[in-house]
Amino acid sequence: MSTAAVHSLWTTAAEPISKIPAPKIEYGQLSPTLIVVGAAVVGVLVEAFVPRKSRYYAQVFVSAVALCAAFAAVVALAADGYGTTKAHIAAMGAIAVDGPSLFLQGTILLAGLVGLFTFAERRLDPEAHGNRVDSFAAQAASVPGSDSEQAAVKAGFTTTEVFPLLLFAVAGMLVFPSANDLLTLFVALEVFSLPLYLLCALARRKRLMSQEAAVKYFLLGAFASAFTLFGIALLYGYAGSVSYATIAQVVDGTVTSVDPALADTMGNDALLLIGAAMVVMGLLFKVGAVPFHMWTPDVYQGAPTPVTGFMAAATKVAAFGALLRLLYVVLPGMRWDWRPVMWGVAIITMLGGAIVAITQTDIKRLLAYSSIAHAGFILAGVIATSKDGVSSVLFYLAAYSFVTIGAFAVVTLVRDAGGEATHLSKWAGLGRRSPLVAAVFAVFLLAFAGIPLTSGFAGKFAVFKAAAEGGAVPLVVIGVISSAIAAFFYIRVIVLMFFSEPRPEGPTVAVPSPLTMAAIGVGVAVTLVLGVAPQYFLNLASQAGVFVR
Amino acid sequence: MSFPLLTATAVLPAVGAVATAAVPAARRTAAKWLALLVSLATLVLAIVVMVRFDPGGARYQLTESHAWISDFGVRYELGVDGIAVALLALTALLMPFIILAGWNDADPLETGSKRWRPTQGFFALILAVEAMVIISFEATDVFLFYIFFEAMLIPMYFLIGGFGDRAHAQGEEAASTQRSYAAVKFLLYNLVGGLIMLAAVIGLYTVSGNFSLAEIAQARANGTLHMATSTERWLFLGFFFAFAVKAPLWPLHTWLPNAMQESTAPVAVLITAVVDKVGTFAMLRFCLQLFPEASKWATPTILVLALISIIYGALLAVGQRDIKRLVAYASISHFGFIILGIFAMTSQGQSGATLYMVNHGISTAALMLVAGFLISRRGSRLIADYGGVQKVAPVLAGTFLIGGLATLSLPGLAPFVSEFLVLVGTFTRYPAIGIIATFGIVLAALYTLVLYQRTMTGPVKPAVAAMPDLKARELLVVTPLIVLLIFLGVYPKPVTDIVNPAVKQTMSDVHKTDPKPAVEAAK
């Protein structure tokens, strides 16, 4: 049969529908994110179908495997050269696969894995009715102090939903620093924020405080999101696109085509300035920079400590990544506008965090203000606007996140009858009672204080060096002064632990399972290795220090 | 590759510190012996360094250089000149005595937690300080120096805050509060100094692009590295501030009396005889070499501050009621002399200053350790609580007197030579300052002799009537120190031979030559 004969059997009704091209998605390059999202979905299914008794094990297994696999994928991509030579924009312009993305994704995944260890810890709280319990509420929906809560505790319920929530948050954080258009940025922001709001409310002890923290975080976070979204709308009006590259072109004045519908507003600097300010504001809220820091102490204090540790580390990494990309890729053309503002923000963040921390009496609040001061130090590196600036910030974030998770993991160990003993006065004489735990915490505090031979010093030196080379010498001087102020309150805790007499009714140090030990051990190891021999990681960070546009 | 001798001198005590800390709680005595043996082995290594060092050879010898953090332009570079060798030897020499003197200072009063091991901690911390001090004498990379300059604060801080004299007059509670106050004050002063230096270190990097002392000094000398006058001055001030806190120089000295008063005598010796020397040493090595012009610019101010330190420290020492505070203020006065000698910018002055560092280390150790033995017998630091000790404990009183006479620079004892050199060196360039500084010696005679008279002579106070004389261990500590004081007082040549060539180099760094003697100039 000839082809003509076949054709005679039917007629062509219209051109085949091929005008809408299927989006080209590079699944391989997006695999870290996809693995984590997939595992999170599996986690939800586990919640639905696996019997209650084995849920915990199934969830921990799925989460750990997913995070490891995703990390392996990141390493594979980096080894393949996606961090350097093959860096490009994937997923139709939505996601940038480049050095900073991969470096930060790797950091977030490792922080997530270590965070997972602290989430899964079930030996610290005394057993309730013969069941091992973790740091999370038995049943989130039950009213605190009610009969239903007691029934839930008695029945041995545990909120194993925290694991898929953790994975969703990690997935959002993976996308956040690699988002290459404003909409992806916003979606990622919400994807990681909403699970965090929920996780904050799930503390087993002090539930009201935990719920209060969650509500505060949610309300303020919602405001910040709204600002971001409004800023995105204004930027769209300015550039006629949400793509980073296009906005950057419009800012630089090298745009090729003008959208006729937006011809009136395109290139209107008022839209650019207000829009950019609002988007940056949203990101500064997430990193906890002054004056957008008000949520930090309350949320850090109220949230379950494992969540606090994870959030303090990973959110900061993700948000600084996004901020770097926004400022370096989208807005380098207007750095003369944003640099003075960021100078101001960095200065008040460093000084504000350090000064207010002095008056704190709760260890978690103290660490919260310390994290604010650290956000200020990192901002000093961001302001450098150089390749060194990027790599120093990347290095600082990696160093800082492991110290943070480790420090909060130590906080979970020090307990009395009411759960964790977070009031500073209860830490008096801890060095006498458990020298090892106190020594480990002292190492973390010294790293926070930036004492040489710890990762904190290497990181601080890197950002200050970049800032000084970028011409921000006054910023370095203020940074050094606030380091001195900050050192005071870190030292105060050490004094309390080692030189004060133990209280007769003081807290005891719980013996954790290998999970928390691993989290703390990783923290100490990273702190010392990055402090003594940081060269390899500095190389990694500096190779990863180039954004793709 | 040859044996890394300098690294070994620092690694040995560091490893010893870890090993000492790991000794089980029940084996306290083993920890003490281990620490003592490590410190003796380090002394042997230091002697090897001294022997292998050729005073007439290259400026930095026994050098080691390895890549470390290339992103920061940092190399692991060690090397010693004559000044460093002298101080290295002093450090290694004093350590066994410090350990021996503190033999029983950190025994736990009651057995607390099974894991609480204060004795092991005490000796491990002392060895850790030794390692860090040694490496900061050896570092020829500014960053490497800075790291250990800062890091040594931490073990020092735990030594001050964690271990104090027994039987405090106001009870353990008050003692513990005062101790942690002293420790925090020590740390904050030095940390602030160090952080300001950090800003200057970063500033130096932005100007020079690397941290190698030799390279920067050379680039400065041949003009390839130009620094604006104001930049150089700011950087100098950043460095000098940190060293002046450490040294300590008036008005940044107030941490020292607290720290020395509250810590045990061996730790007080560690602070003033060893750790503080890093400050004055660094002035010679870093301030003068890296910033010669700024050093000259700041000289008048620094000389005046040093002069104030000398007189003010001595005056306050006269008025003290606490033995340890008295020694602390005397030290402040002596550090004034050292800084005076460094910034007089004459070769006698700088040789004298280096020799002064060594002699002050030995004489303070002798005086302070004997004072510590005295205090541990009576349980009080107040001068008024003593009297007539020489009748009950003549050997103790005698050694105390020799330590005191060394402190007041009696001719025949080592400090006299160095003090004389400093004064001569200062006088040739700044006669007025030299003359005023001489009053420091008069005051030194006053505070030392009054101290001796009030504690050792006169009627025997009932509380000291049963005081035992020095024990064998204590004699073992004091005798060699006194022998050294007399030996170096009569024959200081071994030290000056090593030091003088290095001082000449430093003088040429700052483009200074000694002023011609007046007779010759008149011709």
Highest mean pLDDT among A129-143, A389-403, A460-474: A389-403
Cβ atoms of A358 and A487 within 8 Å: the answer is: no
**How far is the C-alpha of A302 from the C-alpha of A284, rounded, in Å?**
21
Helix (H) or strand (E) holding B69: strand B61-69
Cβ distance A499 to B192 less than 8 Å, yes or no, reads no
Mean pLDDT of the region A362-390:
91
DSSP string, A348-368: HHHHHHHHHHHT--BHHHHHH
Q: What is the pLDDT of residue A15?
A: 62
User: Nearest CA to A318 among A193, A112, A113, A173?
Assistant: A173
Residues B361-366: what's their mean pLDDT? 90
Q: What are the residues of chain A with a beta carbon less than 8 Å away from any beta carbon of chain B?
A: 391, 432-436, 446, 451-453, 457-458, 461-462, 464-465, 468-469, 473, 476-477, 480-481, 483-484, 487-488, 491-492, 495, 498-501, 533-535, 538-539, 542
- The nearest CA of chain A is from the CA of B477 a distance in Å of 29
Among A174-183, A386-395, B224-233, name the one with the lowest average pLDDT: B224-233
Instruction: Note the pLDDT tens digit of each residue in A437-455.
Output: 888 999 999 999 888 889 9
Lowest mean pLDDT among A408-417, B35-44, B99-108, B449-458: B99-108
- One-letter amino acid identity for A329? V
**A25-37 residue pLDDT tens:** 888 889 999 999 9
Is B77 strand, coil or helix? Answer: strand
Separation CA A181–CA A193 (nearest Å): 18
**Res. B115 pLDDT band, cuts 50 70 90:** low
Using the beta-carbon criterion (under 8 Å), do B195 and A464 form an inter-chain contact?
A: no
Q: Do B202 and A464 touch (CB under 8 A)?
A: yes
Task: End-to-end CA distance of chain A: give it in Å, rounded.
Answer: 54
- In a mutational test of the A interface, the residue from B75, B184, B195 whose CB has the highest number of chain A CBs within 10 Å is B195
Average pLDDT score, chain A: 87
Question: Which DSSP category does A176 fall into?
Answer: G
CB-nearest to B158 from A464, A498, A535 is A498
SS3 sequence of B122-150: HHHHHHHHHHHHHHHHHECEHHHHHHHHH
Q: How many interchain CB pairs under 8 A, A with B?
A: 103
Spatial separation of the C-alpha atoms in residues B266 and B122, rounded to whole Å: 11
Which chain A residues are within 8 Å of B184, Cβ to Cβ?
491-492, 495
Q: Which residue is it, tokens 């102090």?
A: A145
| Angle (CA) A231 A236 A239, round 5° | 125
Gap between the Cα atoms of B407 and B416, Å rounded = 9
- Cα R_g (chain B), whole angstroms: 22
Contact A492 B150 (CB under 8 A): no
Nearest-angstrom CA–CA distance, A445 and A297? 18
Q: Write the ipTM.
A: 0.83
Q: B371: part of which helix (H) or strand (E)?
A: helix B347-378
Rounding to the nearest 10 degrees, give the CA dihedral for residues B105, B109, B112, B115.
Answer: 20
Q: Is the pLDDT of residue B111 over 60?
A: no
Q: Do B113 and A435 touch (CB under 8 A)?
A: yes
Phi and psi, residue A89, nearest 5°: -95, 125
pLDDT of res. B390: 82
CA distance A284 to chain B (A): 26
pLDDT in tens, B203-216: 888 888 788 888 88
More confident residue, A426 or A112: A112
Amino acid A12: pLDDT = 62
Of residues B69, B116, B196, nearest to A432 (C-beta) = B116
Q: Amino acid letter at A272?
A: L
A226–chain B nearest CA distance, Å: 40
Residues of B whose CB is below 8 A from A488: 188
pLDDT of B168 higher than 70: no
The DSSP code sequence of B224-236 is SS---HHHHHHHH
- Which residues contact residue A138 at a Cβ distance below 8 angstroms, ignoring those fewer than 6 apart? A128, A149, A152, A153, A155, A156, A157, A158, A159, A204
CB contact under 8 A, A483 and B202: no
The yes-or-no verdict on residue A2 having pLDDT over 60 is no
With a CB cutoff of 8 Å and minimum separation 6, the contacts of A75 are A106
pLDDT value, residue B460 = 82
Name the closest residue on chain B to residue A470, using Cα atoms. Answer: B206
CA distance A269 to chain B (A): 36
Model pLDDT for residues A476-492, shown as the tens digit of each residue: 989 988 998 888 888 88
**Percent of chain A as helix, strand, coil, to the nearest 5:** 70, 5, 25
Q: How far is B133 from chain A (nearest CA, A)?
A: 14
Report the residue of chain A nearest B161, measured CA to CA.
Answer: A499
Q: How many CB atoms lie within 10 A of CB B383?
A: 17
Angle at A430 between CA A427 and CA A433, to 5 degrees: 145
Write out the two tokens for A51: 């019997």
As a whole-number percent, the residues of chain A with pLDDT over 70 amount to: 96
Q: Per residue in A511-536, pLDDT tens?
A: 888 888 999 999 999 999 998 888 88
Give the residue-averaged pLDDT of A395-424. 89
In order, the DSSP letters of A400-447 are HHHHHHHHHHHHHHEEETTEE--BGGGGTTHHHH-HHHHHHHHHHHHH
- Choose among A432, A483, A491: nearest Cβ to B112: A432
Three-class secondary structure assignment of B170-194: CHHHHHHHHHHHHHHHHHHHHHHHH
Would the CB atoms of B205 and A468 count as touching at under 8 Å?
yes
pLDDT in tens, B46-97: 989 888 888 877 788 888 888 888 777 788 888 888 889 989 999 999 999 9
pLDDT of residue A533: 87
What confidence tier does A463 reach under pLDDT thresholds 50, 70, 90?
A: very high
Q: Rg of the Cα trace of chain A?
A: 25
Domain ranges of chain B: 5-108+139-518
**Does the bond joining B248 to the residue before it have cis omega, within 30 degrees of 0?**
yes
**Confidence (pLDDT) at A512:** 84
A135-171 tens-digit pLDDT: 888 888 888 888 888 888 888 888 888 999 999 999 9
Q: How far apart are CA A165 and CA A200, in angstroms?
A: 11
Six token digits for residue A81:
């050269």
Question: Per the structure block, which two tokens stand in for A55?
Answer: 């849920």
Match 């200065």 to its residue by tokens.
A347
DSSP state of B523: -
* Residue A367 clears pLDDT 70, i.e. is over it: yes
pLDDT at B456: 84
Residue from the list B162, B191, B206 with its beta carbon closest to the beta carbon of A484? B191
Q: Which residues pair with B43 in a beta bridge?
A: none
Rounded to 5, what percent of chain B is helix, strand, coil? 75, 5, 20
Min Cα separation A517/chain B (Å)? 18
Residue indicated by tokens 């007059």: B169
Count CB-CB contacts under 10 A for residue A505: 8
Facing B198 at nearest CB: one of A480, A488, A535: A480
Of A162-176, B1-15, B339-353, highest mean pLDDT: A162-176
Q: How many CA atoms lie within 13 A of B481 on its CB side?
A: 36
* Diameter over CA atoms, chain A: 100
User: Whole-angstrom Cα distance, residue B367 to residue B482?
Assistant: 10
A542 with B199: Cβ contact below 8 A: no
For A206, the token pair is 């002090």
pLDDT at B354 over 50: yes
Please tell me the distance in Å from A495's CA to the nearest CA on chain B: 7
Q: Which of B202, B211, B237 to mutate to test the interface with A (most CBs of A within 10 A)?
A: B202
Place of tokens 């008096």: A428
Chain A CB contacts of B153 below 8 Å: 451
CA distance A204 to A127: 13
Q: What is the pLDDT of residue A10?
A: 63
SS3 B65: strand
SS3 string, B394-438, reads HHHHHHHHHHHHHHCCCCCCHHHHHHHHHHHHHHHHCHHHHHHHH
3-class DSSP state of B348: helix
Cβ contacts of A458 on chain B, cutoff 8 Å: 69
In this structure, the dihedral spanned by the alpha carbons of residues B104, B109, B112 and B116, taken in order and rounded to 10 degrees, is -20
The mean pLDDT of chain B is 85
Q: Taking Cα atoms as reference points, which of A412, A447, A155, A479 lies closest to residue B151?
A: A447
CB A498 within 8 A of CB A415: no
Cβ(A369)–Cβ(A493) below 8 Å = no
Q: How confident is the model at residue B114 (pLDDT cuts 50, 70, 90)?
A: low
**What's the rounded mean pLDDT across residues A102-106?**
93
Judging contacts by C-beta atoms under 8 Å, the chain A residues touching residue B187 are 487, 491
- Please report residues of B whose CB lies closer than 8 A to that of A468: 202-203, 205-206
pLDDT: is B263 or A262 the higher one?
B263
Residue in the structure block whose two tokens are 């194993």: A160
Distance CA B201, CA B211 (A): 9
Which pTM does this prediction carry? Answer: 0.88
CA end-to-end span of chain B = 55
Question: Alpha carbon A300 to chain centroid distance?
Answer: 13
Question: Hey, are the CB atoms on A468 and B203 less than 8 Å from each other?
Answer: yes
Q: Is the pLDDT of residue A1 over 50?
A: no
